[in-house]
A and B are shown apart, each in its own frame.
Chain A
Amino acid sequence: MKEVILDCFGEACPIPLVKAQNKIKELEIGDILIVQIDHSCAMKNVPDWAREDGHNVEVEEIDDGEWEVIIEKVK
């Protein structure tokens, strides 16, 4: 089980979402993808997509206006 960090700081929608969707395909079940974002729209569409896909999701505000979306691949 590994953790992969995807740096999407400074990137606007939908780039973080597309990158996250591509990256998770490379991961194994149980792996964790951490998507780092600072655009508030990605703060909604990245977790929404991951939840809808059935993964475990947690969003952490690491600084003012910077978030980490932590996704555990479950299927």
Chain B
Amino acid sequence: MAREKTVEHYDVIIIGGGPAGLTAAIYAGRARLKTILIEKALIGGLATYTNEVENYPGFPDSPKGEDITNLMKAQAQKMGVKIKLTDVKSVDLVGEEKKVETFRNTFVGKTVVITTGGRPRITKAENEENYLFDKGISFCATCDAAANTDKTVVVIGSGDAAIEEGMFLTKFAKKVIVSVLHHEGKMDCNEIAKEAALKNPKMEFIWNSAVKRFEGEGHLDTVVLRNIKTDEEIPVKCDNCFEFIGYLPNTEIFKEQIKMTGAGYILTNEKMETNIEGVFAAGDVRDKWLKQVATAVGDGAIAGFAAEKYIAESEAFHDVILQKDKPGLTFIYNAVAAESIDFLLEIEKIENHFEGSIIVNRVDIYKSSGIADRLNVGEFPAVVLTVDGMVKERYIGHLDSVKIIENLEKICDTCH
């Protein structure tokens, strides 16, 4: 029998506690929105795997990633954001009430911000699963470097993370052997890191190589590489292996609901909006060009701000456009189109004709098409008539004020 879950309501539910999520939380919290951030493991995300962050502006002393994200966390908490450390089991994102399930709670939100980031990719070589994490294969030099003092380690990969973390490992290990897929002298990392790595006396490179299998009794002791040109096996004795070959997005639970790329990264526009209204995505989880703490923070700010705007618009829609006091007329127009402006005068005539017995709203789509979208209006100018908070009639394109007045009179007759 399932345990009864506690239901809690929020304005903004943020899934994922890395820099993008924390920044969205700071913006939402500061806008006085009731905000919860749910993180499955530890606050800080992948930034905490980096020992030296040298390119996040404002921190010239190369702090640990964790030091920066701890400050972000403190700032979010100061804004009144609630932080919950648990796994999200499932989501139901369509509609105005979005549901996020954890094992003890159902969180119901007006908006959801997805900042679930990614996780390290593995090589899928033979026996890899037997040695993951504490049995010899690590993805985090920051976490495990000190345990490799005076030991021999193998690094897989030649991107920025692989080479920078490999260099960090040389401060502890006696030898760092790097397996590079490319021919001699070619790496995927930036030129500065490459130059420093090639000069580092503790670093050795095995070019044109990939992992074939992992070996060891209980704990890893040999990484068997394969020369990708000759297929020759190269056994490398080591104490531990570090894999830095990229990341996979954490988007499994959003499949079927959110639009993604083939690789599973979430598609958004520049406002961080996904294909579902009120659902935003920010940071490494979305399909974007540069994945950095600095860009995650930028995304998070936009997503937090966009969530606030969306909620304000929802409230305006329900309280003003769909008011129930009187029959309503909403004129949706584009203030830079002549046809729209001409009809504004007609709207004024209609308003005067009814002498306060109807409520007239004018919505300029120039700033945002959100309200038009909610009324299913895609062409402008348009008029929508409402009664008791329900859409009664839509006039789109060639508007005829005589017809609108006739119809409104009929509506008014029935409601008095």
The answer on a CB contact under 8 Å between B3 and A58 is no
The answer on a CB contact under 8 Å between A58 and B42 is no
Is B371 an interface residue, CB under 8 A from the partner? no
A-chain residues with CB within 8 Å of residue B103 when the two chains form the complex: 56, 58, 72
The answer on a CB contact under 8 Å between B86 and A57 is yes
A17 to B42, CA, bound (A): 17
In angstroms, how far is the closest chain B Cβ from the Cβ of A58? 4
The residue from A1, A56, A59, A72 contacting B85, defined by CB atoms under 8 A apart: A59
Q: Which residue of A lies closest to B83 (CB)?
A: A61
B-chain residues with CB within 8 Å of residue A70 when the two chains form the complex: 104
- Residue-by-residue, is A27-64 near B (CB-CB < 8 Å gives 1, otherwise 0)? 00010000000000001100110010000111111000
**What is the total number of residues of chain A having a CB less than 8 Å from a CB of chain B?**
15
A-chain residues with CB within 8 Å of residue B142 when the two chains form the complex: none
Q: Which residue of B lies closest to A48 (CB)?
A: B41
A27 to B87, CA, bound (A): 22
A-chain residues with CB within 8 Å of residue B102 when the two chains form the complex: 58
B-chain residues with CB within 8 Å of residue A59 when the two chains form the complex: 85-86
The answer on a CB contact under 8 Å between B84 and A58 is yes
B-chain residues with CB within 8 Å of residue A51 when the two chains form the complex: 41, 87
A-chain residues with CB within 8 Å of residue B84 when the two chains form the complex: 58, 60
A48 to B104, CA, bound (A): 18
The B interface, classified by DSSP as helix, strand, loop or mixed, is loop
A60 to B104, CA, bound (A): 12
The answer on a CB contact under 8 Å between A56 and B87 is yes
Interface size class of B (residues with CB under 8 A): 10 to 19
A-chain residues with CB within 8 Å of residue B3 when the two chains form the complex: 1, 30, 72
Identify the interface centre among A56, A58, A61, A72: most chain B CB within 10 Å of its CB: A58
A1-B3, A58-B85 given as contacts; is B104 within 8 A of A44 (CB)? no
A-chain residues with CB within 8 Å of residue B42 when the two chains form the complex: 43-44
A30 to B85, CA, bound (A): 20
CB proximity to A under 8 Å, residues B93-116: 102-104
B-chain residues with CB within 8 Å of residue A47 when the two chains form the complex: 41, 85
A30 to B83, CA, bound (A): 25
B-chain residues with CB within 8 Å of residue A44 when the two chains form the complex: 42
A-chain residues with CB within 8 Å of residue B104 when the two chains form the complex: 56, 58, 70, 72
Q: Which residue of B lies closest to A59 (CB)?
A: B85
In angstroms, how far is the closest chain A Cβ from the Cβ of B262? 29
Q: Which residue of B lies closest to A32 (CB)?
A: B3
CB proximity to A under 8 Å, residues B72-94: 83-87
List, sorted by A's number, 15 A–B pairs whose CB atoms are closer than 8 Å.
A1-B1, A1-B3, A30-B1, A51-B41, A56-B103, A56-B104, A57-B87, A58-B85, A58-B86, A58-B102, A58-B104, A59-B85, A59-B86, A61-B83, A70-B104
3 closest pairs, A vs B, by CB?
A58-B86, A59-B85, A56-B103
Known: A59-B85, A61-B83. 12 other contacts (CB 8 A): A1-B3, A44-B42, A48-B41, A56-B104, A57-B87, A58-B84, A58-B85, A58-B86, A58-B104, A60-B84, A72-B103, A72-B104
Residues of A within 8 A of B (CB): 1, 30, 43-44, 47-48, 51, 56-61, 70, 72
Residues of B within 8 A of A (CB): 1, 3, 41-42, 83-87, 102-104
